[in-house]
Amino acid sequence: MGGWAIAVHGGAGVDPNLPLERQEAAKQLLTRCLNLGIAALRGSLPAIDVVELVVRELETDPFFNSGRGSALTENGTVEMEASIMDGEGRRCGAVSGVTTVKNPISLARLVMDKSPHSYLAFSGAEEFAKKQGVELVDNSYFITEDNVGMLKLAKEANTILFDYRIPLETTCGGAMESPIVMNGLPISVYAPE
């Protein structure tokens, strides 16, 4: 039997010209979340509780695309989704299309623990959230200035961004010169998750 291990991610696909201070901010958040999980593991919390705890932290911080700081739909709103799975017994829970649940991962956990199903979506998921008494907030809580600007750029580029964000103005020029293409689009329309 090996010891404990943990990994976290904040999205794949990073603009090669991401400013150093944003790279640093991302690393600090990832380190903070790792340390949160490590402390829980040293306290003998079970794996299923640790993954929920760490993803809640990532949802609450606006840096990455989840919870507060989520990417915006074509209408400028936020629709979030999450899933969780316990390897012991292969139990699982998932939600989609939630717009007012502060921590979607905890609602997914409740679907796993407190419902006869493994996946609830849109109005059904919101109804279940109310019944379970999870923390609800207005959709505007999830929308950040950063993302409003990026949605505007995405619309101007007439594209859907795969978990990426338009490089910041300062880096756009640099990215525009890079010949790299991803999914058929110049890397300049993507930006790191």
Q: What is the DSSP letter of 101?
A: B
Site for another protein in 60-89 (CB under 8 A): 64-67, 69-75, 77-88
Which one-letter DSSP state was computed for residue 187?
G
Which of the 8 DSSP states describes residue 166?
P
Residue-by-residue DSSP string for 117-155: -SEEEHHHHHHHHHHHT--B--GGGG--HHHHHHHHHHH
Strands 91-98 and 119-121: parallel
DSSP class of residue 1? -
Out of 19, 39, 46, 123, which residue is the one contacting another protein (CB under 8 A)?
A: 46
Smallest gap from Cβ 68 to another protein, in A, equals 9
Task: Tell which positions 170-189 bind another protein, by CB under 8 A.
Answer: 180, 182-183, 187
102-161: contacts with another protein (CB under 8 A): 104-105, 108, 118-119, 121-122, 142, 147, 150-151, 154-155, 159-161
Name the minimum Å distance from CB 176 to another protein: 15
Name residues contacting another protein, limited to 12-41 (CB under 8 A): 12-16, 18, 23, 26-27, 30-31, 33-34, 37-38, 41
